[in-house]
A and B are shown apart, each in its own frame.
Chain A
Amino acid sequence: MPLPAITSILHRISGIALFFGAVFMMYALGLSLESEAGFQETITMFEESIFAKLIAWGLLSALAYHSVVGIKHLFMDAGHFEELESGMLAAKAALVISGVLIVLAGVWIW
């Protein structure tokens, strides 16, 4: 499969992950705003639960990737990166940039 096809399918997969993963974001937002105790519970959850950290990292990764490739899409709408060479280069750049963001998100969480 050519690289732009891989970035495209990952864009779809990350979008679906974000749609279903929004349950966790909503739960955390609701709990953190509910009360002082709920807020502390949310903080403790993100500090101590490996499960919560992994979900947060997974969702931030999906968000980072989906955003970067989404921005690439907007550039393509404007007529850029449409040739074979530039398209490949843009796909590579999108993977590298999101890779860096995903590592940074991991550092942020841990």
Chain B
Amino acid sequence: MVTNVTSFGRSGLYDWMIQRVTAVVLLAYTLFIVGFLLITPDVDFQQWQALFANTAMRIFTLLLVLSFAAHAWIGLWCVTTDYIPMTGLRFLVQAVTGLMTFVYVAWAIHIIWGV
């Protein structure tokens, strides 16, 4: 069996499934936020803060950012393994985007639990 240490779920089948499950989460969150802004066009600070101070919304946002991390890792893995045949450079790009992904997760937690 061909294996690759930099894939997300250590098997193409897991990555395939995780990519789809996380995609549905990302889509649901997008539709929710766009829907909220469309029905609340004149949103003020109190409404906006109350939305994100809600525990359910914090959990939904944490789910979003963890889904984003897995989805981006798998997507970028597909792209980097397709277009960057040089192992060293590919590893470097994966390391940098991996670090960025971690920063996104930490940043999001900081924002959401700081409300």
Which residue of chain A is the closest to B24 with respect to CB atoms? A74
Q: Which listed residue (B30, B38, B49, B107) contacts A33, Cβ 8 A? A: B49
The reply to whether B20 and A29 contact each other, CB–CB distance below 8 Å, is no
Q: Check A32–B104 contact: CB distance below 8 A.
A: no
**Complex formed: what's the CA distance from A93 to B81 in Å?**
29
Q: Decide: B114 and A33 in contact? CB cutoff 8 A.
A: yes
Residues of B within 8 A of A74 (CB): 20, 23
B45 contacts across to A, CB distance below 8 A: 36, 39-40
- Selected from B30, B75, B78, the residue in CB contact (under 8 A) with A67 is B30
Interface residues of A toward B: which range? 20 to 34
Please determine whether B68 and A16 come into contact, CB atoms closer than 8 angstroms: no
Q: Quick check: is A88 within 8 A (CB to CB) of the other chain?
A: no
B31 — nearest CB in chain A belongs to which residue? A67
Task: Look across to chain B and name the residue whose beta carbon is closest to the beta carbon of A20.
Answer: B100
Which label, helix, strand, loop or mixed, suits the secondary structure of the B interface?
Answer: helix
Check: B115 CB closer than 8 A to any chain A CB.
Answer: yes
Q: Chain B residues near A51 (CB, 8 Å)? A: none
CA distance A43 to B38 in the complex (A): 15
The reply to whether the CB of B91 lies closer than 8 angstroms to some CB of chain A is no
- A residues 25-39 touching B (CB-CB < 8 Å): 26, 29-30, 32-34, 36, 39
Enumerate 24 A-B pairs (CB-CB under 8 Å) in ascending A order: A12-B78, A12-B79, A15-B72, A15-B75, A16-B76, A16-B79, A19-B72, A19-B76, A22-B104, A26-B104, A26-B107, A29-B111, A30-B111, A32-B48, A33-B49, A33-B52, A33-B111, A33-B115, A39-B45, A39-B49, A40-B45, A67-B27, A67-B30, A77-B20
